């Protein structure tokens, strides 16, 4: 098959125009622009000979007939202030492959744009519900930061729903193309990355509770300062993690809330997020043990109370060997020596879809590693290279 | 003179009833309960033979004639959730001494309840404006956390104003009695503390700016994590301060605001308060140098930007030797060996009044060092001891 690079780029720019703000895009899940984009996509699918199908949460499929087909795609919703390629690239590349395959008499390719991948209401909510990771009843209670529920969100496109959730067994596999969102490919001047696994994640809220007190009259040795406990915890954790991590491992304290949070009051409470990611479940567990040991040590030493919120755990997901090898062979043929195998540090819809079928992912470079930002961008030459690699891989898989 | 302990305690409990909530008191500056308490105080002053005088910001004086007099008092406004003695004790002890002195034909004692000591709009606002530390025009623009201005606050009691600000030169000195708000006297079983100085304070807002980024796809070595910068800063500061501080020195990071403050985003900005207090201006300056050096080092090492907000500096205020010695002699006579000289770690109205006259302060114990809290309390026996020490000191000063 021979994908049409110009048609592909034109489609991508047409989608970019819906919700465009400067160089960026604003299409959060179930917003007017998101729904407009999905209607436009449904029309594109129809014109490509695919049957548009909206499921009850607004995941939009473009079905290649009723028989088995390879599913390709990603998502068309964006961050509140998102880039033009995050999600959109995977959907439009899939559509071009579906068109080119049809034109060449190739294998049937279905396309999908999952809903709320960016987690306005949860995390990869549309593919989570479709894959059975969370019941619709539970999902409906999820809240956006504006207080609206998922039920209210999806009600905004209820008139578009085609029917019940599709049976995943109709699809033979899933390939998702996505921007890297990290710096590796761009830094090394490589054109594509073949994903080996999507890293696992552990996230928990930890709370240290001491005693709020007057910052002038409370001597240092009598303080039970929850923030100083957090400082000690974070510093000690960095030292200990260094013994178990590898270069790809990441950990983040991204959210901190002190109580009462006044300049003249010794902080009585520090609630913070503790998140770590790695592709190896053993390492994730070893890190969890260090987190707990360190938190317990520091709070015991400082007379603080320790509370853990629920541990959110998503296991690492290995990409399917056969699909991965097809992408790797295609990459080597298209851009010899200018590609790499790499893990994905971000979650993707593929994580959920992997419950039901073989999955694989292809990355293209993010300029300066920037994403979730209006400045997110990729050289068009790299976008086209990604498309060509996909086409080769899909051809080889059906060969 | 012989102060009447029962009359003193009855007055204190009567004031406690205005704005009482459980064991605590809610009388923030210019609230209905605060104004009600000031009207009640004015009536108490009148009955004691003092002339009530409200100045333009609601500082309430009870004047002992038109000639020179010793001023005593504190404040009757409270924290949003305050204790029954913080401020009130100093006002009611002063009133009892004024009564007892008048009855005994002793020296003229004027009484004051300053307004907004607790800083609903600023910091010790009433005594600051009266003493010329801030112009009324500037003060009028100060905002409370509910968005109201100081001008709006004081307008609520404009009908009570007696005239312009009183000339401070009519007073020969100022003695303020207050709860310690710290643990020293209570821990040692001592009855009173004679304040040597009110510590100086330095407070500044510091901001570290790095780069917000995806917490999954941004490798540790490429991060410019502003929170990790703060952790390093705080830890290094503790080590370095240890070389210059003394046991009474305190420092506090009480307020922290991360941006964007999400569990899955590397913090791009950390804005935090840095406050330190000590009685020695040289030490305050040495600590400032350490703060700046450490902040500059850490931000340079980590590729962060550094911004300092304005430095709020209040110099330490030494208590007047003669007044202090009179209190010390009285304490030794009343409770031999059960008192101490000590600095005040908290700010007080005396800090401002010291611009115009000799000042001194007497502390009574705070049970468990608790203040700014409904649980704040002092044994009534200690309150009475404080009153007796005051009476002896005032007698000796006029002898």
Q: Residue A81: its pLDDT value, please?
A: 87
Point out which residues pair with A45 in neighbouring strands.
Answer: none
Cross-chain Cβ contact A227/B256 below 8 Å: yes
Average pLDDT over residues A269-282: 95
Nearest to A250 by CA among A295, A314, A204, A201: A201
pLDDT band at A138, cuts 50/70/90?
A: very high
Query: A282-291 as b/e, with b when 16 or more CB fall inside 10 Å?
Result: ebbebbbebb
Q: Residue A25: its pLDDT value, please?
A: 96
Neighbouring residues of B126: CB distance < 8 A, sequence distance ≥ 6: B29, B57, B58, B59, B75, B114, B115, B116, B117, B349
Give the whole-angstrom CA distance, residue B50 versus residue B48.
6
Is any Cβ of chain A less than 8 angstroms from the Cβ of B277? yes
Point out which residues pair with B25 in neighbouring strands.
Answer: B20, B82
Cross-chain Cβ contact A254/B247 below 8 Å: no
Average pLDDT over residues A356-382: 95
B236 burial class (0-12, 13-18, 19+ CB within 10 angstroms)? Answer: middle
Which residues of chain B are within 8 Å of residue A221 when distances are taken between CB atoms?
Answer: 247
Region class of B329: left (phi > 0), else alpha (psi between -120 and 50), else beta: alpha
Question: A128 CA to chain B: closest CA distance, Å?
Answer: 18
Which residues of chain A are within 8 Å of residue B253 when distances are taken between CB atoms?
Answer: 227-228, 267
Cross-chain Cβ contact A214/B371 below 8 Å: yes
Residues 120 through 149 of chain B touching chain A, CB cutoff 8 Å = none
Is any Cβ of chain A less than 8 angstroms from the Cβ of B221? yes
Cross-chain Cβ contact B261/A263 below 8 Å: no
**Distance set, CA B394 to CA B61, B355, B389, B390, B399 (Å):** 19, 21, 9, 6, 9
Is any Cβ of chain B less than 8 angstroms from the Cβ of A220? yes
Question: A215 CA to chain B: closest CA distance, Å?
Answer: 6
Given A230, A250, A258, which is nearest B215 (Cβ)?
A250
Given A248, A252, A262, which is nearest B266 (Cβ)?
A252
pLDDT tens for each residue of A23-50: 999 999 999 999 999 999 999 999 999 9
Average pLDDT over residues A70-98: 96
Torsion of CA B180, B184, B188, B192, to 10 degrees: -30
Reported pTM: 0.86
Average pLDDT over all residues of chain A: 96
Which residues of chain B are within 8 Å of residue A85 when distances are taken between CB atoms?
Answer: none
Q: Residue B145: its pLDDT value, please?
A: 80
Cross-chain Cβ contact A256/B253 below 8 Å: no
Which residues of chain B are within 8 Å of residue A372 when distances are taken between CB atoms?
Answer: 214, 265
Is any Cβ of chain B less than 8 angstroms from the Cβ of A367? no
Question: B165 CA to chain A: closest CA distance, Å?
Answer: 30
Which residues of chain B are within 8 Å of residue A231 when distances are taken between CB atoms?
Answer: 230-231, 234-235
Question: B250 CA to chain A: closest CA distance, Å?
Answer: 6
Cross-chain Cβ contact B264/A252 below 8 Å: yes
B160 DSSP assignment = G
Give the whole-angstrom CA distance, residue A237 versus residue B262.
20
Q: Look at residue A104 and tell me whether its pLDDT is greater than 90.
A: yes
pLDDT tens digits, chain B, 399 residues: what are they?
A: 999 999 999 999 999 999 999 999 999 999 999 999 999 999 999 999 999 999 999 999 999 999 999 999 999 999 988 999 999 999 999 999 999 999 999 999 999 999 999 989 988 999 999 999 999 999 999 988 888 999 999 999 999 999 999 999 999 999 999 999 999 999 999 999 999 999 999 999 999 999 998 999 999 999 999 999 999 999 999 999 999 999 999 999 999 999 989 888 899 999 999 999 999 999 999 999 999 999 999 999 999 999 998 887 889 999 999 999 999 999 999 999 999 999 999 999 999 999 999 999 999 999 999 888 899 999 999 999 999 999 999 999 987
Which residues of chain A are within 8 Å of residue B217 when distances are taken between CB atoms?
Answer: 180-182, 344-346, 369, 371
Residues 70 through 109 of chain A touching chain B, CB cutoff 8 Å = none
Question: B15 CA to chain A: closest CA distance, Å?
Answer: 24
- The chain B residue lying nearest A211, using CA atoms, is B370
State the best of A199, A203, A215 to mutate against chain B, taking most chain B CBs within 10 Å. A215
- Map residue B189 onto helix, strand or coil: coil
Query: B241-275 as b/e, with b when 16 or more CB fall inside 10 Å?
Result: beeebeebbbbbbbbbbbbebbbbbbbbbbbbbbb
Is any Cβ of chain A less than 8 angstroms from the Cβ of B382? no
Write out B8-71 in H/E/C secondary structure: HHHHHHHHHCCCEECCEECCCCCCHHHHHHHHHHHHHHHHCCCEEEECCCCCEEEECCCCCEEE
Question: B21 CA to chain A: closest CA distance, Å?
Answer: 20
Is any Cβ of chain A less than 8 angstroms from the Cβ of B25? no
Q: Residue A310: its pLDDT value, please?
A: 84
Write out chain A in H/E/C secondary structure: CCCCHHHHHHHHHHHHCCCEECCEECCCCCCHHHHHHHHHHHHHHHHCCCEEEECCCCCEEEECCCCCEEEEEEECCCCCCECCCCCHHHHHHHHHHHHHHHHCCCCCEEEEEECCCCCCCCCCHHHHHHCCCCCHHHHCCCECCCCCEHHHHHHCCHHHCCCCCCCHHHEEEEEEEEECCCCHHHHHCCCEEEEEEECEEEEEEEEEECCCEECCCCCHHHCCCHHHHHHHHHHHHHHHHCCCCCCCCEEECCCEEEECCCCCEECCEEEEEEEEEECCHHHHHHHHHHHHHHHHHHHHHHCCEEEECCCEEECCEECCHHHHHHHHHHHHHHCCCCEEEEEECCCCHHHHHCCCCCEEEEEECCHHHCCCCCCCCCCHHHHHHHHHHHHHHHHHHHC
Nearest to B32 by CA among B77, B71, B69: B77
Nearest to A3 by CA among A106, A87, A73: A106
pLDDT band at A399, cuts 50/70/90?
A: confident
CB A324 within 8 A of CB A354: no
Query: A299-334 as b/e, with b when 16 or more CB fall inside 10 Å?
Result: beebebebeeeeeeebebbebbeebbbbbbebbeeb
Nearest to B197 by CA among B355, B359, B87: B359
Given A182, A245, A258, which is nearest B256 (Cβ)?
A258
């Amino acid at each position: 098959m021979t994908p049409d690079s110009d048609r592909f780029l034109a489609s991508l720019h047409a989608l970019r125009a819906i919700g465009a703000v400067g160089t960026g895009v604003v299409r959060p899940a179930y917003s007017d622009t998101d729904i407009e984009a999905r209607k436009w996509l449904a029309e594109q699918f129809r014109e490509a000979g695919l049957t548009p199908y909206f499921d009850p949460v607004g995941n939009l499929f473009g079905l290649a007939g009723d028989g088995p087909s390879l599913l390709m795609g990603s998502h068309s919703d964006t961050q509140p202030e998102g880039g033009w390629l995050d999600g959109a690239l995977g959907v439009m590349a899939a559509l071009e492959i579906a068109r080119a395959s049809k034109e060449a008499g190739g294998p049937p390719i279905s396309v999908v744009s999952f809903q709320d991948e960016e987690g306005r209401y949860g995390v990869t909510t549309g593919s989570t519900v479709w894959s059975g990771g969370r019941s619709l009843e539970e999902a409906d209670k999820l809240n956006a930061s504006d207080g609206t529920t998922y039920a209210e969100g999806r009600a905004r496109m209820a008139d578009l729903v085609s029917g019940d959730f599709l049976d995943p067994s109709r699809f033979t596999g899933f390939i998702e193309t996505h921007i890297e969102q990290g710096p590796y490919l761009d830094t090394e001047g490589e054109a594509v990355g073949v994903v080996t696994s999507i890293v696992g994640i552990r996230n928990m809220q930890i709370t240290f509770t001491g005693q709020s007190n007057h910052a002038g009259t409370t001597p240092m040795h009598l303080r039970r300062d929850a923030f100083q406990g957090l400082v000690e915890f974070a510093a000690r954790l960095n030292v200990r993690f260094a013994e178990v991590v590898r270069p790809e491992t990441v950990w983040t304290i991204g959210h901190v809330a002190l109580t009462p949070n006044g300049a003249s009051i010794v902080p009585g409470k520090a609630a913070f997020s503790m998140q770590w990611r790695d592709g190896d479940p053993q390492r994730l567990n070893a890190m969890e043990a260090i987190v707990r040991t360190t938190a317990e040590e520091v709070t015991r030493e400082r007379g603080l109370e320790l509370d853990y919120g629920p541990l959110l755990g998503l296991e690492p997901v290995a990409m399917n060997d056969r699909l991965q090898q097809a992408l790797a062979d295609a990459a080597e043929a298209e851009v010899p020596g200018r590609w790499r195998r790499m893990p994905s540090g971000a979650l993707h819809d593929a994580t959920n879809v992997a419950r039901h079928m073989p999955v694989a992912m292809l990355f293209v470079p993010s300029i300066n590693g920037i994403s979730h930002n209006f400045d997110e961008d990729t050289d068009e030459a790299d976008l086209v290279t990604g498309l060509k690699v996909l086409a080769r891989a899909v051809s080889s898989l059906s060969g």
